[in-house]
Every structure is written in structure tokens, then in C-alpha cells.
């Protein structure tokens, strides 16, 4: 079993930055791949980035490439999402998720992931 807790959301003006955190607990072999997702009101949940927890690779959605960066601190069991040059279109609830097999070499899809956090809200004003 895996538990995921996101933090770091908030309100920021367009052009600003935020760093989200996702702290994981539980079986590390159940989270070989971790992903970040977001869901704006009235829209489907969108995969933002996926990263291997054993350093194989990180994959980003086209909408965030060059602006968002995933990193991780394995000693703290924490995954980060550094978000730069934010725009109002980035406003959403952000979730982290985990799966027990390795990442596909593409942006994540919801159905690929078994464990989910509760989310943290990011609001970007113009």
C-alpha cells in the first residue's frame, strides 16, 4: 500500500513560480513510477509528467515542457514539481500518483496509476 500527500500549492501571479511536493510512504516497490497530474474545473485530469524512481527517465506533457521540472529526494521519499513561467491556463488541482511498474516513455495517463494523493490547488492570476 502507498500513501501520497501533496503540498505546496497556492496562488501566484502569471509569470511566477511554485514548487509542489509529494511525500510518499509505504511499499517503495509499489511506486517505481510516479506521476504528476492536474485537473481544471470542468476538464479531464491531464498527465503533466512521469518519472522513474530509479532514475530511468522523466517524461513531460508538451504543455509543460521547458517550464516544469520534476525532481526527487529519495532520502525523504519526496517528489517535487518545480513550475516556472506559470500562466492562468496552469490553474488546476494538482495530484501525484504512483504505479508499481516502470514508467512508459511518455506523459502519464490516469489509467496507468494505482495510488493517488488528495491534491493541492494551484491558482494563477493574470
pLDDT tens sequence across 81-120 = 999 999 999 999 999 999 999 998 889 999 999 999 999 9
**SS3 annotation, 23-56:** EEEECHHHCCEEEEEEECCCCCCEEEEEEECCCC
The per-residue pLDDT for 53 is: 87
Helix (H, G, I), strand (E, B) or coil at 13: strand
Q: Which residue has the cell 492570476?
A: 125
Are the CB atoms for 24 and 78 separated by under 8 Å?
Answer: yes
pLDDT tens sequence across 11-58 = 999 999 999 999 999 988 889 999 999 999 999 999 999 999 887 789
Q: Residues 73, 85, 44, CA angle at the centre, nearest 5°? A: 80
Amino acid at each position: 500500500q502507498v500513501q501520497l500527500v501533496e503540498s505546496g500549492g497556492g496562488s501566484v501571479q502569471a509569470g511566477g513560480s511554485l514548487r509542489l511536493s509529494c511525500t510518499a510512504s509505504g511499499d517503495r516497490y509499489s511506486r517505481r513510477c510516479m506521476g504528476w497530474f492536474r485537473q481544471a474545473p470542468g476538464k479531464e485530469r491531464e498527465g503533466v509528467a512521469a518519472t522513474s524512481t530509479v532514475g530511468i527517465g522523466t517524461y513531460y506533457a508538451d504543455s509543460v515542457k521547458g517550464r516544469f521540472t520534476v525532481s526527487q529526494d529519495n532520502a525523504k521519499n519526496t517528489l517535487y514539481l518545480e513550475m516556472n513561467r506559470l500562466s492562468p491556463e496552469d490553474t488546476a488541482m494538482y495530484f501525484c500518483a504512483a504505479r508499481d511498474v516502470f514508467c512508459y516513455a511518455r506523459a502519464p495517463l490516469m489509467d496507468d496509476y494505482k495510488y493517488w494523493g488528495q491534491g493541492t490547488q494551484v491558482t494563477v492570476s493574470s
